[in-house]
Amino acid sequence: MSTDIKTKSFSEVIKGETPVLVDFYADWCAPCRMMPPILKELKQRMGDDLNIIKIDTEKNPDVAIRYQVRGIPNLILFKNGQVLWQQAGVVPAAQLESVIRQKLSEHE
């Protein structure tokens, strides 16, 4: 489901043509544990139209600080290195798909 961050730098991954949804999380965060099945469903809905990666804020604090991640889970949608949308909290898959498709159509 997720792109291997070790083979590509974060900045390389988010600069791609394919939109990337980044899930910022921490292992101790209970709401964060609700996101994997939601993201799996979202991936099934959107297929190759969207890459999904997870970033552990404990292991990557610099990335979290750069994108002003203050609450987790925190979702950020990138395309061509630009932030198209950001929201903290658990978001259902259907709502996520709707928001993502809307944001992508606004930035075509």
Q: Which of 11-20, 52-61, 65-74 has the lowest mean pLDDT?
A: 11-20
Q: What is the CATH number of the domain that holds 92?
A: 3.40.30.10
* 11 catalytically annotated: no
Asked, for residue 1, whether it belongs to a domain, the answer is no
5 vs 40, residue with greater confidence? 40
Catalytic residue (choose from 29, 90, 99, 104): 29
**Model's pTM, two decimal places?**
0.90
Domain count, the chain: 1
Asked, for residue 74, whether it belongs to a domain, the answer is yes
Asked, for residue 3, whether it belongs to a domain, the answer is no
Asked, for residue 43, whether it belongs to a domain, the answer is yes
Residues forming beta bridges with residue 83, ordered by sequence position: 78
* 87 catalytically annotated: no
Domain containing 55: what range?
14-106
Mean pLDDT, the chain, rounded, equals 91
Q: How confident is the model at residue 89 (pLDDT cuts 50, 70, 90)?
A: very high
Catalytic residue (choose from 32, 42, 55, 93): 32
Asked, for residue 4, whether it belongs to a domain, the answer is no
Asked whether residue 97 carries a pLDDT value surpassing 70, the answer given is: yes
Asked, for residue 101, whether it belongs to a domain, the answer is yes
Beta strands in 1-108 (DSSP E): 20-25, 51-56, 74-79, 82-88
